[in-house]
Homo-oligomer: A and B are copies of this chain.
Amino acid sequence: VATTRERNPRGQGALLRDDLVRAADRLLETAGGEADLSMRAVTREAGVAPQSIYLHFADKRELMSAVYALRFGEFVDVLTTATEGIADPRERLLAFGRAYLRYGEEHPGHYRVLFGTAGTPGWEPERMSGLAALDLLRDAIRDRRADGADAADGSAVALWAGLHGLVTLRRDRPSFPWPPAETLLATLVDGIARADSTAS
């Protein structure tokens, strides 16, 4: 951490860009680092002068977007890996939810960049590649029921909201007497993405 870095050879200046993004990513790994993701902290972590970050990013939003892009790929991979090869639709949805909750719990800082504002109010990634994660959900739901694509879309969003709510509430209100995650997950999956689709 913060060791001095040696200058990149001529023509390889773009390497610093990756170093900076990885430094930001590393800072998010640590617990307290969630809101402490400042430009200066990132350059410190990368072992470089504060102003060097402007060689590659016009401002803070641009840096955030780069971190977002890096992590979203990983997140979608985790979800894909967790669900692939599971034929039973209910089991696939449960596996998806388990992986989702687990990622949120183990990487609170990264999760905040993906679906929150990460200490930068008003920041929003320009292209929501979060849609890729949502596609997995919608497909799994569609496999389980026979109603239209619209209903599957709505159910996917509702289930997503439930998972997101659980991740963020458990993170921000740890002292609440939470029922077991597996119970809550089953309630969400069996309720929102049921085999049938009749309302009461």
The answer, yes or no, to whether A172 is at the interface (CB within 8 Å) is yes
Contacts of A67 in B (CB 8 A): none
The answer, yes or no, to whether A179 is at the interface (CB within 8 Å) is yes
Contacts of A117 in B (CB 8 A): 172
Contacts of A122 in B (CB 8 A): 32
Instruction: Please judge, given known A-B contacts A161-B165, A168-B164, whether A154 and B179 are in contact too, CB under 8 Å.
Output: yes
Q: Which of A144-200 contact B (CB under 8 A)?
A: 153-155, 157-158, 160-166, 168-169, 172-176, 178-179, 183-184, 186-188, 190-195, 199-200
Q: Which residue of B lies closest to A179 (CB)?
A: B154
The answer, yes or no, to whether A90 is at the interface (CB within 8 Å) is yes
Partner of A165, one of B34, B160, B173, B178: B160
Partner of A157, one of B184, B186, B195: B184
The answer, yes or no, to whether A15 is at the interface (CB within 8 Å) is no
Number of A positions contacting B (CB below 8 A): 47
State the number of copies, please. Answer: 2
- Which of the listed residues A35, A165, A173, A194 has the most CB atoms from chain B within 10 Å of its own CB? A165
Beta-carbon contacts of A20-37 to B below 8 Å, as 1s and 0s?
A: 000000000000101100
The answer, yes or no, to whether A124 is at the interface (CB within 8 Å) is yes
Whether B119 contacts A35 by the Cβ 8 Å rule is yes
Q: Tell me the complex Cα distance, A144–B185, Å.
A: 21
Contacts of A178 in B (CB 8 A): 157
Instruction: Please judge, given known A-B contacts A184-B161, A188-B158, A191-B191, whether A179 and B153 are in contact too, CB under 8 Å.
Output: yes
The answer, yes or no, to whether A121 is at the interface (CB within 8 Å) is yes
Partner of A194, one of B90, B172, B191: B191
The answer, yes or no, to whether A116 is at the interface (CB within 8 Å) is yes
The answer, yes or no, to whether A132 is at the interface (CB within 8 Å) is no
Q: Which residue of B lies closest to A186 (CB)?
A: B199
Q: Tell me the complex Cα distance, A149–B33, Å.
A: 40
26 pairs across A/B with beta carbons < 8 Å?
A35-B121, A116-B168, A117-B172, A124-B175, A128-B175, A154-B183, A154-B184, A157-B179, A158-B162, A158-B166, A158-B191, A160-B169, A161-B165, A161-B166, A161-B184, A163-B165, A164-B165, A165-B165, A165-B166, A168-B168, A186-B199, A187-B192, A190-B199, A190-B200, A191-B191, A194-B200
